[in-house]
A and B are shown apart, each in its own frame.
Chain A
Amino acid sequence: DQQVKQNSPSLSVQEGRISILNCDYTNSMFDYFLWYKKYPAEGPTFLISISSIKDKNEDGRFTVFLNKSAKHLSLHIVPSQPGDSAVYFCAASGGAQKLVFGQGTRLTINP
C-alpha cells in the first residue's frame, strides 16, 4: 500500500535554517492531510493539517503547502530548532476517518 509516500527517510538541517519535508500521495479521494511528529517511545503528536480546499496553512513556525495537481504536500519549519529533531509522518484521509500514513522522515537539527 503506497498511497502515501515520504521518499526521504532522513533529513539533516542546521539550526535556524528552514526544514522542508515532502510527501506524495496517489489517491485523489484524499481530502484532508496532516503532519504528525513522533519522538521515541511516544505516540504521534498532531502538528498541522490542511484541507484539500486550501493550498497553504500556517501555524507559527510550521507551514503546510498542498499542490493537488501534483498530489504533493510539504511541511516547512522555519526557523528549525534542536527540539524539532524527531520523526515526521505525513497522513491523509478521504471521507472515511481512517488515516493512511507515510513511512516517516527522521529530521535531525544540528546546532
Chain B
Amino acid sequence: EPEVTQTPSHQVTQMGQEVILRCVPISNHLYFYWYRQILGQKVEFLVSFYNNEISEKSEIFDDQFSVERPDGSNFTLKIRSTKLEDSAMYFCASTPDLGGNQPQHFGDGTRLSIL
C-alpha cells in the first residue's frame, strides 16, 4: 500500500538554527498537510498546501515557518529560527483531492528536538 514517507525520523538542532523537515506524499495525491504534536498534547494542524500555494494555515504557522514543494515529489517544512517550544513530533499527511470527504494519510513523523 502506498505510504507517506518522512525524513529524518529524528532531528536534533540547536536553538536559533534553521531546520528542514522532508516529506514524500503518496504519488497521486494533490493536497498536503503538516501537523505537529507536542509531547502530551493533541495533534495540531499547521498548514495545508495545494497547487503550490498555502490553502489554510493555523495561528501556530507564523513567519518562522514556511512550506515548499521544490520538485514533483517532495514537500518540505522549514523552521527558520528554532525555539525550544518547537520541539515536537511533526507529521506530514496527504489526500488525493478535495472531491468529497477523504481521509488524510499520515507519515510516521519526524521527532524534532531543540536544544
Contacts and interface: CB of A to CB of B under 8 A. Distances in A.
Interface string B8-45: 00000000000000000000000101010000011111
The interface centre, meaning the residue of A42, A43, A103 with most chain B CB atoms within 10 A of its CB, is A43
Nearest to B109: A43
Interface in A50-89: 51, 89
A102 B95 CA distance: 20
Contact of A97 (B6, B98, B105): B98
Main secondary structure of the interface of B (DSSP, over half): strand
A34 B6 CA distance: 22
Nearest to B104: A99
A41 B95 CA distance: 22
Interface string B102-113: 011111110000
The interface centre, meaning the residue of B91, B104, B108 with most chain A CB atoms within 10 A of its CB, is B104
Contacts of B101: 31-32, 49, 51, 93
Given A44-B43, A46-B104, A98 B48 contact: yes
The interface centre, meaning the residue of A31, A34, A89, A98 with most chain B CB atoms within 10 A of its CB, is A98
**Chain A: interface residue count, which band?**
20 to 34
A12 interface: no
A45 B101 CA distance: 17
Given A31-B101, A34-B103, A89-B43, A97 B48 contact: yes
A99 to B, nearest CB: 6
A100 B103 contact: no
A101 interface: yes
Contact of A98 (B33, B42, B98, B108): B33
A43 B108 contact: yes
Nearest to A96: B56
Nearest to B55: A97
B114 interface: no
14 contacts: A31-B101, A34-B103, A36-B106, A42-B109, A43-B106, A43-B107, A44-B106, A91-B43, A97-B48, A97-B55, A98-B48, A98-B56, A101-B42, A103-B42
